[in-house]
Chain A
Amino acid sequence: MSSSKQALAHPASSAEAASGTSPGAARGARGRGAPAAPDSWRSRLYRWDMKASPYAFVAPFFILFGAFSLVPLLYTAWYSLHDVQLSALDHQTWAGLDNYKNLLSSDFFWNALKNTLSIGVISTVPQLLAALALAHLLNYKLRGSTMWRVVMLTPYATSVAAATLVFTLLYSWDGGMVNWVLHFFGVDPVNWRESDWGSQFAVSSIVIWRWTGYNALIYLAAMQAIPADLYESAAIDGANRWQQFRHVTIPQLRPTILFTVVVSTIGATQLFGEPLLFGGVSGSKGGSEHQYQTLGLYMYDQGWIIGNLGKASAIAWSMFLILLIIAAVNLLLTRRLRKSQ
């Protein structure tokens, strides 16, 4: 495990650097000032409390997390270095980096990586923008505000199977509603399941439908915490609604926006439920040419359908490494930028 520790040490500085840009962290650093009190038991207790409480606050999380999430994940790291079949878990043969080498030379892996990026962009960008707009609207004083919020979260609550059935009907080649509308505009029917860009578009639309309200609610919570005075003084300065949104709301939401970008990016990498169900029978292939097979789906296919746990685990950890590389590049760029400033 030493290698992963080293890998983690790297971006540690990146997080500090990244969070350093957000005003909250800076203030957090200042916020430690405690009154210097005489050396009574009370003040000793007080100091002990100051020192120990952060650990106490994070301990329940890390204990539970370490036991039930981290350990199984480390198991997959172990699997990724072995030849392990789902049908023979006891027979693990050391494979070194073979699983990883196999991936690097596999067209399917690179294809899945490419799809992950394109579907990730097509689905995440509009989704977050729409969520931001939606949250902004929901933040107005509304009649029946509870109802609106509940409605926006229904896609997330709707059974995925039911939703996929609806989308399959909408996108069916012959007689689907979407093609019917296209026909109305004189466009030839599109084979949404099999065409290259069409299938990616269709899968992305399911993702957007499902997660926009979810992100909107996250933004909304953060918007609720923006002090009204900011808007008032902006209004006094003559800012219209759009300017208020641009100059008050967005800057105040920055940490939350960062959060949703990170989570959506990770989510896009791991995406497998929507394309799996959209594909129907043999959905784990992501189309006959793997047109919409994401990394998450490729992993599912290898581990779950084909039963090659070793290779599937290598895919899982490659996804981790890829995201780390993205983070590192990001860090380098921000540093460069800051230096040039």
Chain B
Amino acid sequence: MRTSIRRSHRLMALTAVAALTTGLLAGCSSDSDDGTSDNSGGSGGSGRITLTIGTFGVFGYKQAGLYDEYMKLHKDINIKENVTTRTDVYWPKVLTRLQAGAGTDDVQAIEVGNITEAVQTQANKFVDLGKEVDKSQWLDWKLAQATTKDGKTIGLGTDIGPMAICYRKDLFKKAGLETDRNKLAAQWKGDWQKYVDVGKQYMKKAPNGTKFVDSASSVYNAALGGAETRYYDKDGNIVWDKSDGVKKSWDAAMAVATSDMSAKLKQFDKPWDQGFANGTFASVACPAWMIGYIEQKSGDAGKGNWDVAAAPTAANWGGSFLGVPTAGKHQKEAIELVKWLTAPEQQAKVFAKQASFPSTPSAYASLKPAADTTAYFSNAPITQIFADSAKTIPVQYFGVKDQPINSALTDVGILQVEQKGKSPEQGWDAAKNEIKDVLGQ
């Protein structure tokens, strides 16, 4: 039986209006119109359009001055950003608003972990942006992620997260390891297990109070980011427990977790920051966007000690898209804004500001990281390393519940082995139970 919610909540609305006998609303209903995109009034005079862009924490457009630049170019446009820091609040909010058909922003950001859900369940709520741009500008796999089976592109790629290994030269040296980035890359090329082997070597002579890597989960995520299959196959069937990519990545993570080479930190936690500041781990799998994070959190102590080497396999972690909801009032203007923000030149500007790596290869030739960033990372050819990775990342298929499945494996399975001393088999079983729960089986 299928029922539609629409009629019944209109009924609810009527009931409520009838119930509101008093003038309680009088005091607070001064805000005009129906509250969709152009409600803000703002400074604009007549004819000036206010575009709203809904994002979660990471974009940095404002910091890179892109909104100001666009408003200078288009005198009739005023841009307001609506930020919701946490994606786990942002995305339910967007889903609700999309389905209500009201209150969406003119431009809506979508994280890679949610893009498949958006493509599969919300495609009719978004404008087909594929018709508006030269699609070949984007990396194939990036474009594919935001495109429906019948060829509709609901979001244009912003940044991606090509993978490298960031390591502390000074600590590697003390542990008697190779410190040259090219030779290191050659040592672990092709297999994350080889990276783990380097870690075993490191632990034999590890400087006091240091470990080889921040966490087993980061190795897992990095390895999985380069696998052919993740949790779903091409047709959207769930194959996580048969997936070769999952198996290999899990094994690499288990090798880390069971050999005492991890600092056992949870990424993006306060203690992780402190780990950077105190230099308690010697390497971390770093997508491009983590570069700025490392520089900031490691501070002066890490300056010139960090270096960047190519990761064992080309991999991607993270990245986002911008879409235009059909409920917006200024779709034409919104499309123009999205086109401009995702164009190679603008992506390059964001890279210069916070090292978010462009999803449009034509930008790669002109990419220049900030000068102090280059110095911070021992003059490593950051752009080159990430660009090489970006170009060879395989097309990966995501599924609707990709994110909860991933956290079942990392934050339940791997964490149990790493922090609670469970066996890899126990960890796997725990993750399996968790995923059953996620899928409602």
Interfacial residues, chain A to chain B (CB-CB below 8 A): 63-64, 66-68, 71, 85-94, 102, 106-108, 165, 168-169, 172-175, 191, 193-194, 280-282, 284-285, 288-289, 304-308, 311
Q: In the bound complex, what is the Cα–Cα distance between A280 and B433 (angstroms)?
A: 22
B1 touches A168 (CB 8 A): no
B122 touches A87 (CB 8 A): yes
B270 touches A288 (CB 8 A): no
Q: Is B73 an interface residue (CB 8 A)?
A: no
Determine the residue in chain A with the shortest Cβ distance to B265: A174
Distance in Å: Cβ of A107 to nearest Cβ of chain B: 7
Knowing that A93-B1, A281-B268 touch, tell me 5 more A-B residue pairs with CB under 8 angstroms: A63-B19, A87-B117, A172-B270, A285-B407, A304-B92
Q: In the bound complex, what is the Cα–Cα distance between A20 and B20 (angstroms)?
A: 35
B266 touches A280 (CB 8 A): yes
A165 touches B270 (CB 8 A): yes
B407 touches A92 (CB 8 A): no
Q: In the bound complex, what is the Cα–Cα distance between A311 and B404 (angstroms)?
A: 15
B19 touches A67 (CB 8 A): yes
Q: In the bound complex, what is the Cα–Cα distance between A108 and B16 (angstroms)?
A: 38
Q: In the bound complex, what is the Cα–Cα distance between A169 and B12 (angstroms)?
A: 47
A288 touching B92 in the complex, CB below 8 Å, given contacts A194-B415, A282-B411: no
Question: What would be 5 A-B contacts, judged by CB atoms less than 8 Å apart?
Answer: A175-B274, A288-B412, A288-B430, A305-B404, A307-B401
A174 touches B271 (CB 8 A): yes
Chain B 397-409, CB within 8 Å of chain A: the 1/0 string?
Answer: 0001101100100
Interface stretch (choices B3-11, B41-49, B228-236, B381-389): B3-11
Contacts of A89 in B (CB 8 A): 5, 96, 99
Grouping DSSP codes into helix (H, G, I), strand (E, B) and loop, the B interface class, with mixed when no group exceeds half, is helix
Distance in Å: Cβ of A71 to nearest Cβ of chain B: 6
**Chain B interface category by residue count:** 35 or more
B12 touches A71 (CB 8 A): yes
Contacts of A306 in B (CB 8 A): 401, 404, 438
Q: Is B269 an interface residue (CB 8 A)?
A: yes
A288 touching B419 in the complex, CB below 8 Å, given contacts A71-B16, A306-B404: yes
Q: Is B121 an interface residue (CB 8 A)?
A: yes
A68 touching B16 in the complex, CB below 8 Å, given contacts A86-B96, A172-B271, A304-B88: yes
B440 touches A308 (CB 8 A): yes
Contacts of A168 in B (CB 8 A): 269-271
Determine the residue in chain B with the shortest Cβ distance to A165: B270
> Chain B CB within 10 Å — which of A87, A280, A308 has the most?
A87
A194 touches B419 (CB 8 A): yes
> Chain A CB within 10 Å — which of B267, B280, B438 has the most?
B438
B6 touches A289 (CB 8 A): no
Q: Is B144 an interface residue (CB 8 A)?
A: no
Q: In the bound complex, what is the Cα–Cα distance between A191 and B420 (angstroms)?
A: 9
Determine the residue in chain B with the shortest Cβ distance to A304: B92
Q: In the bound complex, what is the Cα–Cα distance between A106 and B420 (angstroms)?
A: 23
Distance in Å: Cβ of B122 to nearest Cβ of chain A: 7
